[in-house]
Chains A and B, each alone.
Chain A
């Protein structure tokens, strides 16, 4: 190798990416995939993940441009840097995929998730649940004498924390939307 000095990893998949391509650390990445809103497109994306053994921690999809037939799929996935690069390249290969953005490396982004939490209980526990909900700025969207349904929007970690606190207070049911994410700034 004497004659050829090239920095290892100086030019991995994306030209501006200087991370060590051989690193074995597992990273979490949030990908925004803009797709043609046509039948089967979600199956193609999910099939790619299951077929090639990639992880999906969260997946949301909805049409975001009715006239342009565009949907946005937000995927939170985990893997080594090399696997994450491979996932992006494989997504880019799907014919109805317009764009793939890695919000975790393309600059700051905001991530939000909505959760609905049903907490059943009486007496002190009920009072305590309401008190914590206020601290977390959760809204009460349904209440009976023996239960509340709280609605809360926040980062996935915040929703996790809230669910952990509600569990001993009678968390009976839980629905989460999965992550929606956008890059910050214009």
Chain B
């Protein structure tokens, strides 16, 4: 059945056929025909943002908390360029997004027309793929391909640029089933021979570790279930990157905490000393490896990843398995069970004794205070007062507060933790929290923020109020660009160049100005009551938690150092970063 319609109508039709219920967007001249179609329907909800960067981060929050692609609609020129940071963020964290941008009409392309930008050129390196659609007849198929590419294989953001005349013209609509992408065929199943070799290594390993990452979460909830089954059946310890938190539960008996630059002592030491490292959907990012030459020197490394380019990119891997985490773990478990569920029990027991010894260093210990709120304490209280909520979703901004949140909040389920890992985008958390809340209207959504990051996209508070998204903004206010200040203390002789947050707004008045509620708390004695008020309030809330200003985030592997040269809280930090490490970020 052929169906004729305008390009603008096709966009709505295609989104509907893709099961889209929400679009985050901002109108402008080059997308007016599409907005006209949005006006005339009720299936798809449009969330009007305050800045296109906010739209993209909202879509990221929506996507990461639901496992579905996030959809964004922006106009040409500045609308599209404002989306670039979000696209790059989603590319680095493998978040499926479909961004639709308006473009000047085809006959104006190349003339420097009003609000013309080379959007496909600008976004080529920050999307998984992008398209400029020049014929209305191609539009529907291109949008369906866009969804397929965004969500399959290693997920990522894609962009479809749609000139205005293509939106006005009439063409033939095709459905999602009628498309083909012959050059793009991501593998799912891993090689059984390689999987069997991994099982052989698992049977013999004396000091094994499961090093898990965001790929487990991207693979879907079944993958997290299989990871739990594998870890619990083998008794192997599990660590995770920042992106993978929640795939294995923090209360699980195999859990040894997050690894990496601000990861736990026991996790990093175990990575350094293991004899079998099984990387599952994790990509050996530089925040994880520290000095590459000294990274886990004695281990055999296996890596399960859907993206062949993730293998051997940074660290040489002895046993690569290209495939979807869920599929590979399923086969791995089958093979391991069929061979009699063997592990090298006695050495693995000793390995745990060693890990417990490391754990007893209690690396997250900090000096408490009854005069000033310690940021770690604030997060411990947030954890305690929200742990009973199965539907608790946490987003963060970027900085010290982000690392403390990763250390002190505990995640029992996947898709509950949204943070900007790869790009480290300040300004991510507030819009992301709104995207999560829109997807889960009844849930508790808290953005753990630093005051400086929060200001970067604070205009989105208007969006939260307009759409009654009761997001909780938990600002750990140290009146500093805290993470920058920490590095200046460690690396630049305590010369605190431009790392003060001066002239901060009164966050309580700001909340009132936006039409929501705020509270400031600075006395540790009032902290619980303040958190409770935030949680109980029926609507968006800003809690300005005045915290210790010069607290440092530990443990820390200084750049350029290996895992076993970690700084712990009480250690001397003078001259911690030296030599080539000083050039690293």
Give me the interface of A with B, judged by CB distance under 8 Å.
1-4, 6, 8-13, 21-22, 35-36, 39-40, 43-44, 47, 51, 82, 85-86, 89-90, 92-98
B284 CB, min distance to chain A CBs, angstroms? 13
B166 CB, min distance to chain A CBs, angstroms? 15
| Interchain CB contact under 8 A, B312 and A82 | yes
| Interchain CB contact under 8 A, A6 and B312 | no
From A11, A21, A89, A97, give the contact of B183 (CB < 8 A): A97
| Interchain CB contact under 8 A, B183 and A1 | no
Which B173-221 residues have C-beta < 8 A from chain A? 181-184, 194, 197, 201, 204-206
- Check if B509 is an interface residue, CB within 8 A of chain A: no
Give me the interface of B with A, judged by CB distance under 8 Å.
120-121, 124-125, 128-129, 132, 149, 181-184, 194, 197, 201, 204-206, 275-276, 298-300, 307-309, 311-313, 316, 318-320, 344, 347
Chain A residues closer than 8 Å to B275, beta-carbon distance:
1-4
Closest B residue to A93 using CB positions: B309
Chain B residues closer than 8 Å to A97, beta-carbon distance:
183
| Interchain CB contact under 8 A, B132 and A39 | yes
| Interchain CB contact under 8 A, B183 and A6 | no
| Interchain CB contact under 8 A, A4 and B183 | no
| Interchain CB contact under 8 A, A11 and B319 | yes
Measured in the bound complex, the distance between the Cα atoms of B204 and A115 in whole Å is 60
Measured in the bound complex, the distance between the Cα atoms of B180 and A98 in whole Å is 13
| Interchain CB contact under 8 A, A21 and B316 | yes
Measured in the bound complex, the distance between the Cα atoms of B204 and A86 in whole Å is 31
Closest B residue to A8 using CB positions: B318
Closest B residue to A89 using CB positions: B309
Chain B residues closer than 8 Å to A8, beta-carbon distance:
318
| Interchain CB contact under 8 A, B347 and A3 | yes
Measured in the bound complex, the distance between the Cα atoms of B313 and A86 in whole Å is 6
- A4 touching B201 in the complex, CB below 8 Å, given contacts A47-B124, A95-B128, A98-B183: yes
Measured in the bound complex, the distance between the Cα atoms of B292 and A74 in whole Å is 33
Measured in the bound complex, the distance between the Cα atoms of B204 and A2 in whole Å is 10
Chain B residues closer than 8 Å to A6, beta-carbon distance:
197, 201, 300, 318-319
Q: List 30 A-B contacts (CB under 8 A).
A: A1-B298, A1-B300, A2-B206, A2-B275, A3-B206, A3-B275, A3-B344, A4-B204, A4-B275, A6-B300, A6-B319, A8-B318, A11-B318, A11-B319, A11-B320, A12-B312, A12-B320, A21-B312, A39-B132, A40-B124, A43-B121, A43-B124, A44-B124, A51-B125, A82-B316, A85-B312, A89-B308, A89-B309, A93-B308, A94-B129
Measured in the bound complex, the distance between the Cα atoms of B149 and A95 in whole Å is 8
Chain A residues closer than 8 Å to B307, beta-carbon distance:
89, 93
Measured in the bound complex, the distance between the Cα atoms of B312 and A21 in whole Å is 9
| Interchain CB contact under 8 A, A98 and B318 | no
- A11 touching B312 in the complex, CB below 8 Å, given contacts A6-B319, A36-B183, A98-B182: no
Chain A residues closer than 8 Å to B129, beta-carbon distance:
94-96
Closest B residue to A96 using CB positions: B183
Measured in the bound complex, the distance between the Cα atoms of B311 and A86 in whole Å is 8
From A21, A43, A86, give the contact of B309 (CB < 8 A): A86
A4 CB, min distance to chain B CBs, angstroms? 5
A60 CB, min distance to chain B CBs, angstroms? 20
B81 CB, min distance to chain A CBs, angstroms? 18
Chain A residues closer than 8 Å to B124, beta-carbon distance:
40, 43-44, 47
Chain A residues closer than 8 Å to B316, beta-carbon distance:
9, 12, 21-22, 82
Chain A residues closer than 8 Å to B206, beta-carbon distance:
2-3
| Interchain CB contact under 8 A, A35 and B309 | no
| Interchain CB contact under 8 A, A40 and B320 | no
Measured in the bound complex, the distance between the Cα atoms of B181 and A36 in whole Å is 10
| Interchain CB contact under 8 A, A4 and B300 | yes
| Interchain CB contact under 8 A, A92 and B344 | no
Closest B residue to A21 using CB positions: B316
Measured in the bound complex, the distance between the Cα atoms of B311 and A89 in whole Å is 9
Closest B residue to A44 using CB positions: B124
Chain B residues closer than 8 Å to A90, beta-carbon distance:
309
Closest A residue to B302 using CB positions: A6
18 more A-B contacts (CB under 8 A) besides A47-B124, A98-B183?
A2-B206, A2-B275, A3-B204, A3-B344, A6-B197, A6-B300, A9-B318, A11-B194, A11-B318, A12-B312, A13-B320, A21-B316, A22-B316, A44-B124, A82-B316, A86-B309, A89-B313, A93-B309
A82 CB, min distance to chain B CBs, angstroms? 6
Chain B residues closer than 8 Å to A21, beta-carbon distance:
312, 316
Measured in the bound complex, the distance between the Cα atoms of B183 and A106 in whole Å is 21
Measured in the bound complex, the distance between the Cα atoms of B88 and A51 in whole Å is 14
Chain A residues closer than 8 Å to B313, beta-carbon distance:
86, 89
Measured in the bound complex, the distance between the Cα atoms of B124 and A96 in whole Å is 13
Measured in the bound complex, the distance between the Cα atoms of B124 and A29 in whole Å is 26
Chain A residues closer than 8 Å to B308, beta-carbon distance:
13, 89, 92-93
Chain B residues closer than 8 Å to A93, beta-carbon distance:
307-309
Closest B residue to A51 using CB positions: B125
Chain B residues closer than 8 Å to A9, beta-carbon distance:
316, 318
Measured in the bound complex, the distance between the Cα atoms of B129 and A10 in whole Å is 34
4 pairs of A and B residues whose beta carbons are closest in the complex: A89-B309, A95-B129, A98-B183, A89-B308
A53 CB, min distance to chain B CBs, angstroms? 13
